[in-house]
Chains A and B, each alone.
Chain A
Amino acid sequence: MMRPPLLSVGAATLDVVADTGGMWRLATAALRRLLVDPFRGGRLRLPMVVHQIQRAGFDSLPLVMLISVLLGMIVAFQSAYQLDKLGALSLVANLVAVSVTRELAPLMTAIIISGRYGSAVSAELGMMQVSQEVDALTVMGIDPVSFLVNPRLVAFSIALPCLTVFADAAGILGGFTVSVLSLGIGSSAYVSNTLDALQGKDIVVGLVKSLAFAWIIGLVVCQVGLATRGGPEEVGRSTTTAVVRSIVLIIGADLFVTALFYVRG
């Protein structure tokens, strides 16, 4: 039976409020354990963190590099299309460098990681929840946030900025390839324009964004995964929810950080 639209909106709003509350509680619990527990004899499970960094970072590196090279190429073509009309074709390098480092590399890397590693984490935690593995941890007296969430959050926080740096380089390389081979811009001119255009601030903005995205993806996929109830079919549903929600939040946060840095100069 179809639910009245108002009821559906109300139910969806309640879900959003509940999920936001869940994410907030998870964020505070994770931060408390990360920052306070080491002084109370708690520990970060280093082998798990390393394993997760390998999954999030090393395993995703080829895909991130490929997409970033292609993006750099696309940006070079698109900017050449406009800049050529103004007789400023040599500025392609400037545009590629700034747009890749400030915007495209952190954003695309976050979206790739959300779809690739984030979905895997959500499915993994969802499956652990429905098969009572999380309950087993709790009965053993092992805190699921310390054992499951924090190693993944730390992995996201390390892997995403690192991948973004590689994506920066790959994107600029893509722009360079198109500019030199197809647009007739000299290689030394391209490099010199890139170095002129790039400021430390551009790279810092990109890295700040990537760190924010890392926490957004980490918290969303872990929260949605651990909130999975029911059977295996719910795991698929919650995985989709986690990826969609994290991508929407990433883009929202991107706008916020971009506006913040724009206003602050």
Chain B
Amino acid sequence: MLEAMSLRKAYAGRQVLDGIDLEVSDGETLVILGPSGSGKSTLLRCLVGLERPDQGTVRLHGVDIFDADTSTLAKLRERIGMTFQGGALFGSMTVAGNIDVPLAEYTRLPLSTRRIIARIKLGTVGLEDALDRYPSELSGGMRKRAALARAMALDPEILFCDEPSAGLDPITAASLDQLLNQLKRIFDVTLVVVTHEMASAFAIANRIAMMHEGKVRISGTPEEVRASQDPVVRRFLDRVPRDGPGVLGDSA
């Protein structure tokens, strides 16, 4: 369904993605895990077409997204949804207005019907009451759920989530993980989630791809990743700090 082949991307001479090969099957939940700066967000941006890789291709349903014409790309985009780290809700619109943007763009439904759909979508993420509220009036967790409702507006086949639980308290983060699992079960959506939160990763993943220095270091089921004896993987899972002086100058 989604394939990335030999992706390479460099910024100012620094190789951020260094030959990434990845495949996501229908109905799968792939979690891209890794420390900050490992290239996971860049990989996600390449997968959704926001960033053109220096080399390599991304194929969605067999179509190279960087080679597709405008109308083909628009049709592909209709089938994907994405949530961003900060929500990226349009601040000048209410939550209902936000959900209405993709609906108005891709359907010819009247406003009243679109509003009903927005209400239903908000219901699925437990935010029925937030229909006419502005993003600035919502908490961090509510904003992420509203963004999820917007991303699900067109019932996408594949949903990309960038750090869905970042910045949330553990209880809200766990609720969001639960919500992602429910959405996946109910709507049979394929999930590609980027996170550095291990608890979230193990709570939602069918498969985990752990990134390290622009490469996929390990890819496997959560159990396989947990059992890995790779020192880089172990350091990340066991939360071993990097070598070097700490804040107070002592060796870490």
Seen from chain A, the residues whose Cβ lies within 8 Å of a Cβ on chain B are 124, 127-128, 131-133, 135-142
Contacts of B74 in A (CB 8 A): 141
- Asked, given contacts A127-B91, A131-B88, A136-B84, whether A141 binds B105 with beta carbons under 8 Å apart, the answer is yes
Q: How many A-B residue pairs have CB under 8 A?
A: 49
Seen from chain B, the residues whose Cβ lies within 8 Å of a Cβ on chain A are 45, 48-50, 73-74, 76-78, 80-82, 84-86, 88-92, 101-102, 105-106, 160
Contact A141 B77 (CB under 8 A): yes
Contact B85 A139 (CB under 8 A): no
Q: Could you say which of B76, B84, B102, B105 contacts A132, with CB atoms under 8 Å apart?
A: B84
Contacts of B101 in A (CB 8 A): 137, 140, 142
A139 to B77, CA, bound (A): 6
A139 to B82, CA, bound (A): 7
Q: Shortest distance in angstroms between B85's beta carbon and chain A's nearest beta carbon?
A: 7
A-B contact list, 16 entries, CB within 8 Å: A128-B90, A128-B91, A135-B84, A136-B90, A137-B101, A138-B49, A138-B50, A139-B50, A139-B82, A140-B101, A141-B73, A141-B74, A141-B76, A141-B77, A141-B78, A141-B105
Contact B48 A139 (CB under 8 A): yes
Q: Could you say which of B50, B78, B86, B106 contacts A131, with CB atoms under 8 Å apart?
A: B86
Contact A135 B88 (CB under 8 A): yes
Contacts of A142 in B (CB 8 A): 101-102, 105
The A contact surface, by secondary structure, is helix
A124 to B90, CA, bound (A): 11
Of B76, B101, B105, B106, most A-chain CB atoms within 10 Å: B105
Contact A132 B92 (CB under 8 A): no
Contact A133 B91 (CB under 8 A): yes
Contact A140 B77 (CB under 8 A): yes
5 nearest CB pairs, A to B: A141-B77, A132-B88, A136-B88, A139-B82, A132-B84
Of A124, A127, A136, most B-chain CB atoms within 10 Å: A136
Q: Shortest distance in angstroms between A33's beta carbon and chain B's nearest beta carbon?
A: 11
Q: Known A-B contacts: A132-B85, A138-B49, A139-B82. Give 12 more (CB < 8 A).
A: A131-B86, A131-B88, A131-B91, A135-B88, A136-B89, A139-B48, A139-B160, A140-B101, A141-B73, A141-B74, A141-B106, A142-B105
Q: Shortest distance in angstroms between A122's beta carbon and chain B's nearest beta carbon?
A: 15
